[in-house]
Structure 1
Amino acid sequence: MNSLSKIIIVTLLIFLCSPIILATKQIPCDCKEVRTLSLKYPPLQGDDVWELQKQLQKLGFYKHKLNGSYDWQTYVALKKFQYINSKSATGVVKQKTWLKLAKALGKSPFVTVDNKKLNSPQGEISLVVDGYSRQLKVYSNGKLYHTFPVAIGKPSTKSPIGEWAIVHKDADWGGGFGDRWMGLNVPWGKYGIHGTNKPGSIGTAASHGCIRMYNKDVKLLYSWVEVGTRVKIIGNRDPIKLTHQLRPGHTGKDVLLVQERLRKYGFQPGYTDGRFGASTKEAIKNLKYIYGLKDDVVVDENVFYILNLK
């Protein structure tokens, strides 16, 4: 095989493998198929183990630090829970265990809030996810129509604060996504609103950043919203560092921070969606004109200073 042939083959392999690698990295780790947890060596580790420990801790069975490792302490705590709640202490976690945990925590994954049938709201629908109260609020023509309990991102993987839009709907994701998936246009990761196979997590900060709902509730919401529905997420987030100038076409948390500050100072950057688009460009242009700065749309040190970002 000559050198040219080798180069062509290597190039083709990179081309074919790259989409697979990218797609795998985009899937949040808490949205996989439910796996069976049991005591093994080396110990199983992951977000699902962390959630198991957290729920057992809330119920008073697990009294150690949350470490996401299915170790001996986790095994003993689970067996105590299983013995009290089912008389079958196997130390093995399957889907039925998650449902029993939810029941023990006083959470019902099978009914909607208020246990009543709701008609589809009329008018323009928008959603607000309140990370402080762990609620998803549905608005119809600007008026609150209904509220659902949700789970948000855990402290180490917070949900994306900002103003987003639903850009994808799918009824057949399965696995950790539960019964429905509504993808959001967050530019730095794959986030969405979806059902869950861990109903005991609802009302807590437990996910990898996505918004979880009871499967019964997410089916109802899915029937109400369309692609393009606006979704605002509020709550705590990690500090955002500004490390370089920003220009039209840039995306990221730093752009979102600038958008928020522009709005605070009376400019109109459009949605705070982390995208340096036409509205943000116009807002920067107006700011620079008012303050007598260079006639361009670059977010530089002068803009950072005016917006009190540095």
Structure 2
Amino acid sequence: MRLLLLLVPSAILVAVAVLFAAGPLAPGVSLAGEREVRADAPLRFATTGVVDGLAVEVDGRPVAVTRTAGGWETRGGPLADGEATVRASATGPGGIITAAQTWTMTADGKPPELDVDASRHTDGAAVEVTGTSEADARIRVDGGARAARTTADGDGAFAVEVALRGGENRLEVVAADAAGNKTTDAMRIVRDARAPELEIETPDSVDSSTPALAVTAQDTTTVTVHAELDGERVGEERKARDDAVELPLGWLPDGEHEVTVVARDRAGNEARAEHALLVDTTETFGVATLARGARGDDVRTFLRLLREHGGYDGPVADTLGPNAMKAVRKLQERRDLAVDGLAGPQLRASLLRKLDASVTIDRSARTLTFLRGDHRVRRFPVAVGMSEYPTPVGSRRVVDKQVDPVWTPPDSPWAAELDTIPAGPGNPLGTRWIGLGGAIGIHGTYAAGSIGTAASHGCIRMTIDDAEWLYEQLPMGTRVRITA
């Protein structure tokens, strides 16, 4: 006789089968199926043959069994976590044990661990869901276009490709161990194949050497935006807020620049917009660095200098073209300058250094112009003498230069009651003095609000920075012409 024990996925199924012999059916005992079960699962038994009762013990402890339509079942889960010895005894008429079998089983009441990817966006038709669970756990992913299954490897790692529906996919990942314990986790995958709508709102021409692009980038998700300038990425990537973002481009020379704005959404969809930007900050030569495409009077002045002293044989136009830029590079190479193709301070100084410096002061316009030869280099706003003490017109020369001068009251009635003022903040001469003789000179002032007015006692006032720049350009004896 043999008692056959069969374990089914939902429980342990012990089939006590009576095998045919050369007479009536006789009970027998045997075990079939998995020996690892959930700790909370009842044990179920099925019998065949003539069986009046079934007694079950777990680790020597009797367990109550009830008869069901399909066989026998314990009340609740009789097993604790870990190994247990289970004995089943079938009884026939008169309570005689007709078959018995003992086996070792493992009860597992702990659900498997489960750790899956973070939620994300994608532009693909499928996504690979990866994670970790218990070794050899069965993995099922629902919520996509169709269910996907796989089995974790010996280290618990798994990866399964999940087909996606358009839009939002709320995926449920279920890990089941050998005992049938399950753990569920959820993740959100959004399939988005549409790129952001991108528009650059900055005008084609700006008058700032440090411009910023105004950009709108519309999408259903967060959009990050960055700029590429003349083929090189500039600045940091920024997130659009309320569909808008501002992208600083840093310092730019006057001229034409090719700007590309790149917007990328969370799914990786990318939109690009091209923009031709003209930077034109001034008409005064010597103020701005010039690049290809620069325009204006400062360009004409530069091209005249380049023709006279730089080997350029092209026309003197108001736009800096490619032939002029080739001449710039060649001149930079010949004079051991940085070859960057820009008409910046070093190149201007190289062209102008052999030309005599001079200054013209227009009293009525309240401007001071610094020249090299006949070429205007820079023009500054200044303050001139008030009507009671007008700045004298005529030609003069630089006869005195002082850094951090001390102000001494001049021999004049308006200064009779005043004392000497040492160098430093508050000194009426600022940080530089360029004397023109007869107590008249060019100097800095801390009273920046007076620039552009008739406010002095005859001298020519400049801002501190402008006076310091001019001081470095004027050697002793430089000619200064003052006009009415």
Q: Normalised by the size of structure 2, how large is the TM-score? A: 0.24
Larger Rg: 2
More strand per residue: 1 or 2? Answer: 2
Q: Normalised by the size of structure 1, how large is the TM-score? A: 0.37
Larger RCO of the pair (alpha carbons < 8 Å, separation 6+): 1
More helix per residue: 1 or 2? Answer: 1
